[in-house]
């Protein structure tokens, strides 16, 4: 089966099986799509639905967010995790307000210049918001291509030049079609060609999949380790931020101690939150979200 046939079958499958996600609706603005891309980084879709809806209702444009205090963005981020994303999104909104007349820019270079926007996020926004032709390589797409074209259960830990060259071979020439393929292959990896329990019987391209034809060989690369959470600095940072988000007034050292009793880890994590700009000193032994 040639690559154009793979693309056609995956896109046709997507048209029938795609999840109904609000940032995919025709009336979703580029800003709404940009917010979804920030929130979806390292966060499952179902955890994003509610916060996304609240966010775009409260701040329906980049200017609306930019005009709000940065601390309100951090507060509204809630328990999505990796809260620096909230700060970066606020900074990006400010740049859009100040340098792009309040409109999410269409050009890939302008997108890359925004705070918090790397190569993947820029390509995703350009593709999904503006229907441009870009290589959108998230974990799901990489896994689909690794299995279908290379017969490997998983891609390498980080994308290689050879992997990108392979992905370009699947990318349709027409921008609209390329954007459709990007979201369709991503959805296939999220729903069918999953990391742990792939549903090959439901896959539209099983007959073209090298991995399936070879008997679904096990992964022979470096061990794939999941991330722990309990007791980590990430959990500690989240506990401290939860205290700050719950109060409209500055909180005390005692408030933070109650949230995380272990002093050395608490002090280390508080210092890292201050360094990241997520927490600011508000007086003697007082702390607040950024103003």
Domain of 245: which CATH number?
1.10.10
Closest among 242, 250, 280 to 83, alpha carbons compared = 242
Higher local confidence (pLDDT), 193 or 227: 193
Q: State residue 224's pLDDT score.
A: 58
Mean predicted lDDT score pLDDT of the chain: 94
Active site residues: 37
Instruction: Indicate if the pLDDT at residue 69 is higher than 80.
Output: yes
Do residues 57 and 108 both lie within one domain? yes
| Measured distance CA(34)–CA(149) in Å, rounded | 30
Do residues 136 and 193 both lie within one domain? yes
Q: Work out the average pLDDT over 235-243.
A: 92
- Ramachandran angles phi, psi of 141, nearest 5°: -65, -40
**Which of the four pLDDT bands, split at 50, 70 and 90, describes residue 243?**
very high
Mark 128-141 as b/e (b = at least 16 C-beta within 10 Å). bbbebbbbbbbebb
Q: State residue 42's pLDDT score.
A: 86
Do residues 45 and 119 both lie within one domain? yes
Instruction: Indicate if the pLDDT at residue 157 is higher than 90.
Output: no
For 252, the enclosing helix (H) or strand (E) is: strand 251-252
Residue 172 belongs to domain with CATH number: 1.10.1670.10
Q: State residue 228's pLDDT score.
A: 76
Which stretches of the chain are DSSP H helices?
A: 3-17, 30-39, 45-58, 62-66, 70-77, 84-99, 108-112, 119-130, 139-150, 161-170, 175-191, 210-213, 233-245, 253-259, 263-275
**In terms of residue numbers, what domain contains 183?**
1-17+132-226
Do residues 150 and 221 both lie within one domain? yes
| Structure tokens, 93 | 């909104």
Coil, helix or strand for 209? coil
Q: Which pTM does this prediction carry? A: 0.88
Task: Tell me how many domains the chain contains.
Answer: 3
Do residues 31 and 11 both lie within one domain? no
Q: State residue 219's pLDDT score.
A: 80
| Measured distance CA(151)–CA(218) in Å, rounded | 10
Closest among 261, 259, 262, 64 to 279, alpha carbons compared = 259
Instruction: Indicate if the pLDDT at residue 111 is higher than 70.
Output: yes
Contact 263, 270 (CB under 8 A): no
């Amino acid at each position: 089966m040639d690559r154009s046939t793979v693309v056609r079958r995956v896109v046709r499958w997507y048209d029938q099986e795609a999840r109904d996600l609000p940032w995919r609706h025709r009336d979703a603005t580029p800003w709404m799509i940009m917010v979804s891309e920030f929130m979806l980084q390292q966060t499952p879709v179902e955890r994003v639905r509610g916060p996304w809806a609240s966010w775009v209702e409260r701040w329906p444009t980049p200017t609306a967010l930019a005009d709000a205090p940065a601390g309100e963005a951090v507060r509204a981020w809630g328990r999505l995790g990796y809260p620096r994303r909230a700060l970066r999104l606020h900074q990006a909104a400010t740049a859009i307000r100040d340098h792009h007349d309040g409109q999410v820019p269409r050009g890939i270079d302008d997108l890359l210049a925004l705070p918090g926007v790397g190569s993947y996020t820029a390509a995703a926004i350009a593709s999904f918001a503006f229907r441009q032709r870009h290589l959108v390589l998230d974990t799901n797409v990489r896994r689909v291509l690794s299995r279908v074209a290379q017969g490997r259960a998983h891609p390498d830990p980080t994308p290689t030049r050879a992997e990108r060259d392979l992905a370009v071979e699947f990318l349709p020439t027409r921008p609209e079609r390329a954007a459709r393929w990007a979201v369709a292959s991503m959805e296939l990896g999220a729903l069918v060609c999953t990391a742990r329990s792939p549903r090959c019987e439901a896959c539209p391209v099983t007959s073209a999949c090298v991995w399936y034809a070879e008997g679904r060989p096990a992964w022979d690369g470096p061990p794939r380790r999941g991330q722990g959470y309990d007791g980590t600095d990430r959990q500690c940072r989240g506990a401290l931020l939860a205290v700050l988000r719950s109060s409209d007034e500055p909180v005390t050292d005692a408030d933070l101690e109650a949230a995380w009793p272990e002093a050395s880890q608490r002090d280390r994590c508080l210092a890292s939150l201050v360094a990241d700009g997520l927490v600011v000193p508000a007086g003697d032994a007082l702390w607040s979200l950024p103003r």
